[in-house]
Amino acid sequence: MAKLFAKFGEFDSAEEINRAAAAQKAQGDNEAVRTIAKENGIDEMYVDDFLAGDYDELCNPLIAAIGKLDIETADLDLPTSLQLWVDFIKNMMLEDNDKQLMIGIRRKGKDLVNLLAKLIVETSKSRKNVPGPIVSAARKLDSSIPSTLPIGDISRKRLEETIREYYIDPAGKQEEEKSEVAPVQPEESEEDQDPEPEETETPESETEGGDDE
Each of the 213 residues of the chain gets a pLDDT tens digit; together they read: 447 887 898 999 999 999 999 999 999 999 999 999 999 999 999 999 999 999 999 999 999 999 999 999 999 999 998 999 999 999 999 998 899 999 999 999 999 999 999 999 999 988 888 999 999 999 999 999 999 888 888 999 999 999 999 999 765 443 343 334 333 333 444 444 454 544 444 444 444 444 444
Give the residues across from 129 on adjacent strands. 150
Neighbours of 159 (CB within 10 A): 17
How far from the centroid of its chain's Cα atoms is residue 33's Cα?
Answer: 26
Q: By three-state DSSP, how is residue 150 classified? A: strand
Report d(CA 86, CA 76) in Å as an integer.
12
User: How many residues in the chain?
Assistant: 213
What is the per-residue burial (b if ≥16 Cβ within 10 Å, else e) of 27-62?
Answer: eeeeebbbbbbebbbbeeebbeebbeeeeebbbbbb
Cβ(52)–Cβ(17) under 8 Å? Answer: no
Give the residues across from 150 on adjacent strands. 129
Neighbours of 106 (CB within 10 A): 28
Using N-to-C axis directions, what is the helix angle for 112-124 and 80-96, rounded to 10°?
Answer: 110
Could you give the C-alpha distances from 85 to 154, 156, 166, in angstroms and in order? 11, 11, 14
Q: So what's the pLDDT on residue 170?
A: 60
Q: So what's the pLDDT on residue 171?
A: 54
Domain locations in the chain as residue ranges: 14-172
Neighbours of 200 (CB within 10 A): 6
**pTM across the whole model:** 0.73
**Tell me, what DSSP letter sits at residue 4?**
T
Please, how many CA atoms are within 13 Å of residue 205, restricted to the half-sphere of its CB? 4
- Residues near 126 by Cβ (< 8 Å), separated by ≥ 6? 152, 153, 154
Beta strands in 52-188 (DSSP E): 128-129, 150-151
